Amino acid sequence: MQKEPGEALVSLCQEQTALSKEDISVLYHLQRNLQHFADLAGADIFIDVLTREAGIAVVVAEAKPGTARSLYKGSVVGQQAIQCNEPAVFQTFETGEPVPNMQGTSQEGYPISQTVIPIKNELNKSIGVLIMERDNSVQVRQEKTMEFLSKTTQKLTDTLLSQTEVGEVLPTLIHDALFIVDARKKIVYANYVAHKLLLGLTKGLNPVSIDIDQLIHQVPELEPIFSKDFDAQELNVQGDTVLVRSLPIIEGTEVRGTVYLLKDITELRKKEKQLIAKSVAIKEIHHRVKNNLQTIASLMRLQMRRVKNKEVSAAFQESINRISCIALVHDIISRDTSESIELKECLQRIGNILTQSMLSPEQKINIEVRGSAFRIPSDQATPTSIVANELLQNSLKHAFPDQMEGEILVLVEEAEHHIKLVIHDNGKGFPNGFNKETNAHLGLQITHALVWESLGGKIKMYNHAGAVVEIEFPKWGAEKNETVTDYCGR
């Protein structure tokens, strides 16, 4: 049967050490707080005491941190430590002084940082040591990396300032224009790309072996490149855009020269400007389409007011709502910086348009949109919005014929590569014997066509405390060959 930590400490001290009862009592009371020390420090904490045998100590207590990874898989209580393996422990026993941050290796092979402090009794005599061991692997890796980088930097410095080696190595490694300038501001090396870049500017002048001041005098446009040091800067040189980087060559505390890297990014910036111009043009097109659709809706609204027949007037209103829905999508795209829209926001705005246009002031029918906020491509947004518009129109028109109040819940969910749209009202529900294939009016026919053909999804309609319509379709841009649940059994 395993002993309690305090019992194990007392037993080991009595069996293997010459400590008095009073000294063991000091260690016992310290051991009771050991776990707090370990959690606070995020390190393994141990108590070691000397055995009766010279040069050997024994672990009488331990605590593993609950706030960090322990260095030890099992318990080390009862294990002995010898002087050659634990020099910091025995140094503290001998001197009575703490040993901070001693680098070493744990019993399981981990690089550790070990701090040892003495435990003293009332007579100021060391009766044990308190050991804190922390994983030091990250620091060791960082030190090795810094050592490697330091050696690499020194080798690179020597290579860059050695013209014979530079000419052989750099052409295969550097694809940008490269200049090496020594401490006297003299160009000691220019690669082939640098010669080619400056060929037109220098009019055949070889930039190697001349001073920077001479080069700038010949080609004043180059002054911004060599006039100051910067990590990265885009400069305009005779109509071309050049990206310039400067790297000092340092040996010890002395700056021995500077490396200049130049890259012609003129074509890249031109293409970026073209893309921005195209993006602006596309947004302007969306904006104009939205305006044209709103104009059409306004004309239809004027015509509707002249119609006396209620059925014709209702058909006009449904068409106006469809046009307004499409205009809304174009409006969102024209204002957004990306080629996608947030579906939840779009559905909420469609609901607001419909309640304002279809409800009388006395009716209090609320459309609530719930679910996660995510974006869908603009090409998919239009059919999705029209489907939602048709279903919400259907609920507002048929679900509450004799009611002044009602609730319509729109739930949107994104499940990996699919989108699920649920519209649930608390109205009278679908009539008995309703068949979505034979009883569907124009709005539902539009819905079925868009869901099956445009969105590649499935639709399910049923009653559950009102009418429920569930639609699931793949999110465009998801992995190909994904299939959706067949709600219709088709």
Give the lowest-confidence range in 22-26, 163-167, 367-371. 163-167
pLDDT at 483 over 60: no
Give the lowest-confidence range in 32-36, 223-227, 317-321, 460-464. 223-227
φ, ψ for residue 123 (rounded to 5)?
-90, 10
Residues 409-457: pLDDT tens digits?
Answer: 989 888 778 888 898 888 888 888 776 665 557 777 888 888 888 888 8
* Average pLDDT value over all residues in the chain: 79
Q: Name every residue whose Cβ is closer than 8 Å to that of residue 316 and which is 6 or more positions away in sequence.
A: 300, 301, 303, 304, 307
Residues 353-381: pLDDT tens digits?
Answer: 888 877 777 888 888 888 888 888 878 88
Q: Which amino acid is at 70?
A: S
d(CA 450, CA 384): 8
The pair of three-digit structure tokens given for residue 390, joined into one six-digit string = 């048709």
Q: Residue 487's pLDDT is what?
A: 37
Average pLDDT of the residues in 6-24: 91
d(CA 36, CA 65): 9
Q: Residue 485's pLDDT is what?
A: 39
Give how far the C-alpha of residue 336 lies from the chain's centroid of Cα atoms, to the nearest Å. Answer: 22
Nearest 5 degrees, angle CA 58-CA 63-CA 64? 120
Residues 194-240: pLDDT tens digits?
Answer: 777 776 666 666 666 677 787 777 777 777 777 666 566 777 776 77
The pair of three-digit structure tokens given for residue 140, joined into one six-digit string = 């060791």
d(CA 371, CA 343): 10
Question: Bridge partners of 418?
Answer: 415, 474
Give how far the C-alpha of residue 259 lies from the chain's centroid of Cα atoms, to the nearest Å. Answer: 34
